[in-house]
Amino acid sequence: MRLTQGRPAAQISGMIVAFDTLAAAEALQDAGIEPEKAKAIVATARDAAGAGRDSLATKADLAALETRLTWRMIGIVAVLLAAQGALIVTLLQPAA
């Protein structure tokens, strides 16, 4: 595993968060953690910080979703109104 200094690890809401993996590993080692364990901890933190970036929704994604849901709701309401109208017509017909 190779640790690099000054490498950005995550981008959250359009803002890059710098995570100096080498400095983090050295800090862990200075605190008494073995070098291989320190590297593993830092790699896990780096991966966790970057995880899910591809699945974050943007404002455009949310706007498109809102539009799709709005049209879907309009369709549902139209079907319900048609069914209600058919039921009213059926109920208002004289009994045979």
Residue whose C-alpha is closest to residue 21's, from 33, 9, 37, 11: 9
Q: Rounded to an integer, what distance in angstroms lies between the CA atom of residue 50 and that of residue 63?
A: 25
Q: What is the pTM of this model?
A: 0.45
The residue ranking higher by pLDDT, 43 or 87, is 87
pLDDT tens, position by position, 16-35: 566 788 898 999 999 999 99
pLDDT at position 7 over 60:
no
pLDDT tens, position by position, 51-65: 666 667 889 999 999
